[in-house]
Amino acid sequence: MKIIKPEIQGLVILEPDVFSDDRGYFFESYNYSSYLVAGIHDAFVQDNEAQSKKGVLRGLHYQVGELAQSKLVRVIQGAVYDVVVDIREGSPTHGKWYGIELSAQNKKQFYIPRGFAHGYLSLEERTILSYKCDNFYSKAHEGGIRYDDPLLGIKWPIDGILAIVSERDLGLPAFGSHRLP
């Protein structure tokens, strides 16, 4: 497995070793000991899966307090542009964002530690995104930031794509007025 650590501390991109032949392919999608080597020590307690049609933009979401969540994200079918924003107070990269394309084709996984807002744009029809969480979902601890906040300046690849955003996500506050973890 190839381990890539982007410029924002705590983020990890994992590229599994894929074994392919004329029958198809095989790879380990999760192996606790391999993830320990990558610096990921979380005990994941919940798996989530979401299907989205092309153009669906979800986020930016997070949880706060004792129910903040780390996530391990991958795409099973289709492709997404996955984005995180560092909302950790005191972090040298507070307010910075990072984006990566995850797809069924590239099989990359994206580890997002606690203290990040997370969202994604579905780039293909019938995209299926799956992610592990190290804490349970809690509506009382959830928060969010508006995906198109000009202060963040996220460069979503929406050229030629009609973004489909929920009313809830359109109503999220701007960066700086969100609840901090």
Catalytic residues: 61, 131
Residue spans of beta strands (DSSP E) within the chain: 2-4, 12-15, 19-21, 24-26, 46-52, 57-63, 71-77, 79-86, 97-103, 109-112, 116-122, 127-133, 142-144
Both tokens of residue 70? Answer: 């780390």
Sequence-separated (6 or more) residues with CB below 8 Å from residue 93: 7, 8, 9, 86
